[in-house]
Amino acid sequence: MTLGDLASIGSFVSGIAVLISLIYLSLQIRQNTLAHRASAHQSRSTFLKDHLHLLADPAIARIFIRGLAADTEMTEVEVTQFLVVMRAWCIGMSEMVWAHDHKALDDETYQTSVMALRGMFARPGARAFWQTYKSTATPTFARLVEGILETAPMVSQIHIVEQWRSNIARQEQGLGLSERERRP
């Protein structure tokens, strides 16, 4: 074997080593990207669970409902509590927008967040809150919310209890239950 043959073998082996390194590196990048996306998804889930847990407190829920309806009879303390809950919610939603813009949150999950924003900012109290909060929001989040405010109609009252009861009635009708069977 000549020195030229050894050099050719060395070049071939080194080329294969580079190829293996590139494949390994691409797998590591993919795994890292998935880990970041999983982390963003987990952060979103944690934020939403914490916010919902907060709203499960009857006192906070009453204030939140009254605040969304723009109840002008609320006390200063109640308004402050409503504004703090809304601020916390907007901070969390803003983080989801940031995560999506930086490719850490997938489009489908992001769209559910945008739908939640549309629902929240359809309420007069949330719109009033936005007027005081928007100057501290990130520009990207502010543009998103301003776009929602321009296109989403305002709803003065959402009758959740009536909506829930109507859904139950439709489910029971679908099962063919008699009135007596429906009510224990």
Does 176 have pLDDT greater than 70? no
Q: What is the mean pLDDT of residues 84-95?
A: 94
How far is the C-alpha of 96 from the C-alpha of 90, rounded, in Å? 10
Angle formed by the axes of helices 76-101 and 3-55, to 10°? 160
On whether the pTM is more than 0.85, the answer is no
Residue with tokens 């952060």: 43
- 26 token code pair: 């691409």
Residue 8, domain member (yes or no) = no
Domain membership of residue 141 as a residue range:
48-182
How far is the C-alpha of 18 from the C-alpha of 58, rounded, in Å? 62
Residue 93, domain member (yes or no) = yes
Q: What is the mean pLDDT of residues 72-91?
A: 96
* End-to-end CA, the chain: 93
Residue 136 is predicted with a pLDDT of: 94
Weakest mean pLDDT among 21-25, 94-98, 114-118, 138-142:
21-25
Residue 161, domain member (yes or no) = yes
Residue 148, domain member (yes or no) = yes
Residue 14, domain member (yes or no) = no
How far is the C-alpha of 116 from the C-alpha of 137, rounded, in Å? 17
Polymer length of the chain: 184
Does 180 have pLDDT greater than 60? no
Angle formed by the axes of helices 76-101 and 139-151, to 10°? 110
Domain count, the chain: 1
Residue 42, domain member (yes or no) = no
Residue 32, domain member (yes or no) = no
Reported as a single tens digit per residue, the pLDDT across 4-15 is 777 788 888 888
How far is the C-alpha of 84 from the C-alpha of 43, rounded, in Å? 20
Greater pLDDT, 155 or 133? 133
The DSSP symbol for 154 reads P
Which amino acid, 100? Answer: H
Sort 91 into a burial class: Cβ within 10 Å, 0-12 / 13-18 / 19+.
middle
Reported as a single tens digit per residue, the pLDDT across 34-77 is 787 788 778 888 888 998 899 999 999 999 999 999 999 999 99
Residue 167, domain member (yes or no) = yes
Question: What percent of the chain shows pLDDT beyond 70?
Answer: 93
Q: What is the mean pLDDT of residues 149-154?
A: 89
